[in-house]
Amino acid sequence: MASHDASGDEQAAIALLKRRDIRGLELLVQQHQLRALRTAYLIVADRQAADDIVAEAFVRAYEQIDQFDPRKSFSPWFYRIVVNGALQWLRRNKHRHLSEDEFEWHIDPAPQPDECVAISETRDAIVNAIHALPSDQRAIVVLRFYLDMNEQTIAETLKTPLGTVKWRMHEARKHLRKVLSASPPLQDRLKAWSLGK
């Protein structure tokens, strides 16, 4: 991905980090921590684990910054570290489903009253469907629909062949379409995610 995607602040932070100036890491934490936490959490469904995974990802970014090409975007390189950490955690731990309480962290905290029932049904169905996916498909779904990465960027982020990413996305969409299409309130979400085709 081209360097124009990185902000000037991010480029300055990376330059500081390459000089082993800790202020660079502080700037990158400010820019990426929340999204990194949500990414890890959507994959592992464990808040403490997500905190640990992201903290370790920032440490790795600091230690391995010399491997990063500053002509490219920082995000795919960094989120590869986050996603790989999350997938490693899943391999070491039992699969968990998000509870309704835990998922509140990810939704609008103040929906309109008439939206509450639909939001509750939608979030439960979506979370359960995503967490029923194999971990490699789950990671791709999170990168595609939460981080809004295209398939080429996902392939670069995961260091996975584009054909493999496309196949896993196809399988994930097929599973999600089958599960979610049974619920009429989810039809708009299916269309938004191009799952209803």
Q: What is the pLDDT of residue 81?
A: 93
Buried (b) or exposed (e) across 165-188, using 16+ Cβ within 10 A? beebbeebbebbbebbeebeebee
Backbone angles phi, psi at 72, to 5 degrees: -105, 170
What is the reported pLDDT for 102? 46
pLDDT tier at 121 (50, 70, 90 boundaries)? low
- Pair 11, 70: CB distance under 8 Å: yes
Q: In this predicted structure, what is the pLDDT of residue 69?
A: 86
Sorted by sequence, the CB contacts under 8 Å of residue 136 that are 6+ apart come out as 87, 168
Distances (CA, A) of 134 to 11, 48, 91, 129: 35, 21, 11, 11
* Pairwise CA distance, residues 87 & 79, whole Å: 12
Phi/psi of residue 111, nearest 5 degrees: -70, 160
Q: What domains can be seen in the chain, in order of their start residue?
A: 3-92 (1.10.1740.10), 100-192 (1.10.10.10)
